[in-house]
Amino acid sequence: MIKDLPDNVVQDIAVAVALESENIEGKVWYVYLINLKNEPIENVLITSKGYGEKDGQQVKTSTLRHMFPKVEPNTYTIIEPIDEQTFGLNNEYWLSYYIGSNIYDKKFIFLPESIVDMNLIKLPVVNKPGVMIK
C-alpha cells in the first residue's frame, strides 16, 4: 500500500520546540508547526507521542492527534505545550497535509536530550528561541 503512494517530498515545513517563558517555577515550552512555504497547507493532521527509556524502564506517553484546516504561508500554529520531563524521551510528530490534491507526510523526531539550551536558535517566523527540525 505505501508503495502505491506518490513520492511527495516535504520541504519548507518545520516542527519546533520553542521556549515561551521562564520564571522561578520553571520554563514553559510549546511545539510549533512552521509553514515556510509561499503557499498554504491544508487539512493538516499531526500525531504526537513520546517514547524511550527513563530510569531503566520503557516509557510511552499518550498519542495525541491535532487537526488544523489551514496553515497560511510564512506563518505558524501552536501544536501543543510540551513538558520538560519528556525531553529525555524521543518526541515524535508525524505530519500529514495537502497542497491541492497532493498529500504529503513526514515524521519529525526530537531525540532524547536534543532540546537543550546549547541547541537553541532563533526560530524563523516564530521569533523565539527554540530547537527546530526541518
pLDDT digits (tens, 9 = 90+) for 34-55: 999 999 999 999 999 999 998 8
pLDDT at 1 over 80: no
> pLDDT at position 55, please?
86
For the segment 1-6, the average pLDDT, to the nearest whole number, is 62
User: What is the pLDDT, as a whole number, of residue 70?
Assistant: 98
Provide mean pLDDT across the span 80-101.
96
The mean pLDDT value for 71-100 works out to 97
Residue 73: partners with Cβ closer than 8 Å, 6 or more residues away: 35, 37, 38, 39, 40
- State the pLDDT at residue 125: 96
Average pLDDT, the chain: 94
Considering the entire predicted model, what is its pTM?
0.92
Please, which pLDDT band fits residue 23 given cuts at 50, 70 and 90? Answer: confident
Domains in the chain, start-ordered, CATH in brackets? 2-126 (2.60.40.10)
| Strands 26-35 vs 75-82: parallel, antiparallel or unpaired | antiparallel
List beta partners, residue 18: 30, 130
Mean pLDDT value of segment 101-107: 94
User: In this predicted structure, what is the pLDDT of residue 4?
Assistant: 66
